[in-house]
A and B are shown apart, each in its own frame.
Chain A
Amino acid sequence: METQFNSLYSVILDTYPLEGKQLTKIWKFFEHLKEGRLTTTKCVKCGKVSYPPRILCPDCLSEELEWVDLPTKGVVEYFTELKAGIPVGFEKPLIHAYIRLSDSFHILSKIVGVKSIDDIRKGDKVKLKVFDVPSIPAEIGREKINIDRVYFAFEPDD
């Protein structure tokens, strides 16, 4: 496939992470997303679950980590809509919610799949939504390749 170096991809500040095993050691997180799984790393030695995923346990400094699944469904605790100063690359309505995924895990995420903030209430059930984002034209040594990317948000779980 021909690599597009003149695409709309911004080399100044890219909105999304470096994905793909050529660019990051936690590439499996994004592979799991493509399977509809939200995952993170757990320390095999001390059991500490970290989010975002790591390559080093911050509690015991072990590098022996394993992937564990996080819940993909949760409940909205707080939500808001950013009306002014929406960053480029994001669309209106830009709604965020603090979501309870389990007793021990909350996530602050964008909410997609709603027409307006009036369509969301405290206590609403939401579920993981995975979507494509612009690929990265990457120089790997002398080779130029496109690395396809995905990212995630949450959407109403009707």
Chain B
Amino acid sequence: MRDACVIAGGQSKWGYRDATLIELFQEAGKACFDDNPNIKPADIDGILVASATSERLGRQTHLAPMVAEYLGIKTRSVCARAELLCGSGSSAIILAAGMIKSGMAETIMVIGGEKLFTPQRWETFYSQLGSVDHDWDGAQGLGLPPSLFSIIFQQHSDLYGTTEEQLAMVSVKNRRNGLNNPKGQFRKEITLEEAMSAKPVAVPLKLYDCCPVTDGAAAVILTSDSTAKDFTDKPLVKIIGTAQATESNSISNRGSWSTWSALKTAASTAYSRAGITADDIDVAQTHDCFTISEIIEYEDLGFCEKGEGGSFVEKGLSDFGGKVAVNTDGGLLSCGHPFGGTGIRQAIEITKQLRGDAAHQVENAKYGLTHNLSGAVVAHTIVIYGRD
């Protein structure tokens, strides 16, 4: 079977934006086409749009044909929207790769983003009550995840001795990495002391433990390996393994808060499809919606043993020059998190790292991984990329 490759990627400026949802999509599409001037809108035969809150917060349904029109794309193979909250972008990438590999499509733009700073920010907060089981968990006021991640950290700390300082080290690293990313929400380093003394959000999680509210969009273009050679002389970045796994959607009766069994399932499936192991991954963009998330992800993705995630970051093993460089573009903590855009932003950074033209390059990176969790740590989405 043929391979699906990423041949272009770009994003809008992310943050508090003076732009509507459709304007953010136009900026992202333009940046994506600018990344590879050989590709024109007429070369695209399909579009998959990733957006979780386009109706409620972006005020728009039937989004894909609208984005296609604004970007001058006339689709023939696919024109639809994909939604898995924080995993929407990566879900659309998986669907596009499957269509290209099977021959149902040739060249697809995957574009995703959100408008979350609606005129009043509370609209986002209370719309999130629908991102967990609305009637049972949302009705308890559990829509915004900091409370959950506080409980996740408390259990991880009880079992493995993970400290609030180790959490802070994740945000210090990712804020430093974010300095390389002019399109991210924050380009400001923080010190360990600043992180430790920041105001509480969900006790004991503090401000810099949590990713922000963000407007933004991002886009990539995927095509078959044979067509890719018509458009680029750069090394081909192929999608070589994907997986999605889920566990209990209800927040009650969780087996464990601090071991994410669905992440382990997704990881082993994706590694096996790619024919590699965790040790082969050179660079990873994982879902650092909270600092504790990145620590658990080191463990359940197999970068370190269970319970050693805190010391993994403390020893610098997730930094440049460590075992695997994690969130090299700043991650969600630095770039922000417009849900549908995040997986695509991760794909752009991995593509640059494997092509060898990243802002801060991981030496000779051959295999890259993206990971998203979504909902109340219910679904895990993994895409593994390999350089030709």
Contact = CB atoms under 8 A, between A and B. Distances in A.
A67 interface: no
Interface stretch (A1-9, A89-97, A136-144): A89-97
A16 B139 contact: yes
A13 B147 CA distance: 21
A82 interface: yes
B202 A81 contact: yes
Interface in B232-268: 250-254, 257
Interface string B104-146: 0000000000000000001001111110011111111111101
A107 B252 contact: yes
B202 A15 contact: no
B139 A151 contact: yes
A36 interface: no
Contacts of B154: 78, 80
Contact of A89 (B126, B199, B253): B126
Contacts of B252: 51, 105-108
B155 interface: yes
A120 to B, nearest CB: 11
A84 B147 CA distance: 10
A85 B146 contact: yes
A86 interface: yes
B200 interface: yes
Nearest to A91: B141
Contact of A83 (B127, B138, B202): B202
A96 B142 contact: yes
Nearest to A12: B56
Contacts of B192: none
B139 A83 contact: no
A153 B140 contact: yes
A109 B140 contact: yes
Interface residues of A, number: 33
Contact of A87 (B143, B202, B250): B143
Nearest to A83: B200
Given A82-B202, A96-B140, A52 B133 contact: yes
Interface in A67-125: 78-90, 94, 96, 98, 105-110, 117
A47 interface: no
Given A15-B126, A78-B151, A80-B150, A90 B141 contact: yes
A80 B126 CA distance: 19
Nearest to B254: A106
Contact of B140 (A78, A83, A108): A108
Interface of B: 56, 122, 125-130, 133-144, 146-148, 150-151, 154-155, 199-205, 250-254, 257
The 4 closest A-B pairs by CB, nearest first: A17-B135, A80-B150, A87-B126, A90-B141
Given A80-B154, A84-B199, A110-B142, 14 more contacts: A16-B139, A52-B250, A78-B155, A80-B203, A80-B204, A83-B199, A87-B125, A87-B128, A87-B143, A88-B125, A88-B126, A107-B253, A108-B148, A110-B141
